[in-house]
Amino acid sequence: MPFRTTVPILLLVLSVGYVATNLCVKDNLADFGEKIRTTLVEWKNEILEILANRVQNFKGELEFASYYQDSMVLPRAPNRARIWGYGIYIPLGKTVKINAAGKKYTALIKKDDTWEVVLDAITSKGPYTITVSYSENQIKLRDVLFGDIWLCSGQSNMGYELGRIPNSTNELEDSKNFPDIRMLLIPKKRKVEPQNDFDELIPMWETARNTQKLSSFSAVCWLFGKEINKKENVPVGLIDSDWGGSPIESWMSADLLKKSNCRISNSAAPKGELWNAMIHPLLPLGIYGVIWYQGESNAWNPSPYSCLFPEMIKDWRKRFNERGGSALDFPFGFVQLAAWDDNLSKNNNWHTNFPHIRWAQTARIGYVPNDVMPKTFMAVAMDTPDFGHNGIHPRFKRPVAERLVYGALHVAYGRHNVKHQGPFPTKYLRRGNRKIQITFDEGDTPLKFGTTGLFEVCCSLDKLRMCSDNDNRWIKAKLKTTQPSGVIISHLCSKKVFGVRYAWQESPCGYKDCAVYSVENNLPAPPFVYHGKI
């Protein structure tokens, strides 16, 4: 707590105690009250004497905001890094001096006792020592790198620790070869109002040399950042801010939820409190992008997600841009939900809604980026189940991270030759009475194939109506013939076919054994549904 705030609080506590002892005297507890009052008077005099001596000789105190620390990463050019902190008992309007990367800057003390500086764009990675001074007081940030900061957020699958994945021992040993990756794990906390800083629980930047800390860090976040560091040769700051079991509404600002046209859930889960405590304080940092793994806790009511998710992305971009100078269209990657269990009861909607939440994650379009969700990328994860072990928390995070990296290289780093999307259908043709030819990616993507049983067709009894999502008129279709860039499926519908869907199951296939993949990068086709006469 700042010294300027501490002084009046101490005096207030003493005053309240003094009044309370007077009440004791009036209530015939004279001896007891008098002893307390005498003690408080002595304490007060001692405290006032200490404060008087301190203020008389006070030169002002400087502090960085809690998450500005040694061994951190700040944003590289073209972004401009912001650094801020507190000037405790430094008069309003006084000048703080900053030295960073060979340049000198100044900042003024503001009414809220804070100072802030925006550095010039810095291209060289460092490491640097950044110095802030006022009068005889000086504070430093040491071993600071300039690179790309990626925020990793969501629920427990984002928080799943690196030390729990297969072959984690080798991964942790290898991490020592990546000194330019720095990690910040945000403490789990809720707040009813947006916070500007972390107070009781202070996150600490760590290097990969600290394998004990890394073992408890997000596996997806680390594996993603490691590959970005290798392929882009740039320092990477990884910020893990996750909370198991959290719905998307917890990560959205109260302002957005109030003005949103989306259907907001009436659940008892606190709304906006994780945004307030675990995202809002980070706004000044200037992130490069976000990766997101969340959605399981919205599967019980998936329909609003197709509206909420794009709105949240847009709002995060706006707020990080306004406060920290992040790009207004910074890249946003996410994981389309993995499988859970191959033996689930079909009467439990919370489980069987996974196909619908996967579809909603793409704004009901099926792929990203799209017009509703620009500059986004997606890792399909339905073919990474961990049946019989961790269920909803599959240990297999490497393929998830690899697919996110493909998306980041293409969307975030402009490597447009990198294949990052799985095959997606672009044409449906009827071939005879009971066969349908499906072409993927306009015939431009060479395909390979796995299991054969993931297709369904809508068998319209009246030859007019399309099938709803849970309609029992969806019947199985078999992958009959494979082609270089498509498939032919066969079905038993004797009526008109009014739609096709694929992998519309909670757990559609075994490990990397769904029906359709791209040859390049082995990317699975995402689940899709087409409504229309064929």
Q: Which pLDDT score, from 0 to 100, does residue 347 have?
A: 43
What is the pLDDT, as a whole number, of residue 51? Answer: 46
User: Quick check: 129 pLDDT over 90?
Assistant: yes
Could you report the per-residue pLDDT of 255-299, keeping only the tens digit for each?
Answer: 999 999 898 876 656 789 999 999 999 999 999 999 999 999 999
β strands within 109-192, DSSP E? 114-118, 128-134, 137-154, 181-185
Query: 334, 338, 336: which is closest to 382 by C-alpha?
Result: 338
pLDDT in tens, 398-433: 999 999 999 999 999 999 999 999 999 999 999 988
The one-letter amino acid code at 222 reads W
- The mean per-residue pLDDT over the stretch 180-189 comes to 97
Q: What is the mean pLDDT of the chain?
A: 89
Amino acid residing at 293 = Y
pLDDT tens-digit profile of 435-451?
A: 999 999 999 999 999 99
Please give the Cα distance from 362 to 309 (Å, whole number): 9
Q: Who has greater pLDDT, 473 or 267?
A: 473
Residues pairing with 107 in the sheet: 96
Cβ contact 332:376 at 8 Å: yes
Query: What span, in angstroms and rounded, lies between the C-alpha atoms of 14 and 8?
Result: 10
Pair type for strands 103-108 and 137-154: unpaired
Considering the domain delimited by 146-412, tell me its CATH architecture. Answer: 3-Layer(aba) Sandwich (3.40)
Query: Which helix or strand (DSSP H or E) is residue 310 part of?
Result: helix 305-324
Lowest-confidence range among 229-233, 273-277, 350-354, 487-491?
350-354
- Architecture of the domain delimited by 61-145: Sandwich (2.60)
Per-residue model confidence (pLDDT) at position 53: 46
pLDDT for res 34: 60
In the predicted structure, residue 147 carries a pLDDT above the cut 50: yes
Question: Which of 119, 125, 79, 126 has the alpha carbon at shortest distance from 103?
Answer: 119
Structural contact between residues 247 and 357, judged by C-beta atoms closer than 8 angstroms: no
Q: Kindly tell me if the per-residue pLDDT of 514 is higher than 60.
A: yes
Reported confidence tier of residue 19, pLDDT bands at 50, 70, 90? very low
Residue 454 has pLDDT above 80, yes or no: yes
Between CA 508 and CA 486 the distance in angstroms is: 20
**226 vs 223: CA distance, rounded Å:** 5
CA distances from 273 to 189, 254, 261 (A): 8, 9, 20
Residue 45: band (very low, low, confident or very high) from pLDDT cuts 50, 70, 90: low
Could you tell me which residue, 144 or 348, shows the higher pLDDT? 144
Compute the chain's Rg from CA coordinates. 29
User: Residue 54: pLDDT above 50?
Assistant: no
Pick from 154, 91, 127: which is nearest to 400 by CA? 154
* Contact predicate 113/88, CB 8 Å: yes
Q: In angstroms, rounded to a whole number, what is the distance separating the alpha carbons of residues 367 and 370?
A: 7
Q: Residue 354 phi/psi, 5° resolution?
A: -55, -40
> Six-digit token pair at 464?
């007019």
How far is it, in rounded angstroms, from Cα 175 to Cα 169?
A: 10
Q: How high is the pLDDT of residue 534?
A: 86
- Per-residue pLDDT at 442: 95
Neighbours of 365 (CB within 10 A): 16
Task: Please state, for a pLDDT cut of 70, what percent of the chain lies above it.
Answer: 86
Domain spans of the chain?
A: 3-56, 61-145, 146-412, 425-531
Say how far apart CA 491 and CA 473 lie, in whole Å. 12
The gap between the terminal CA atoms of the chain, to the nearest Å, is 68
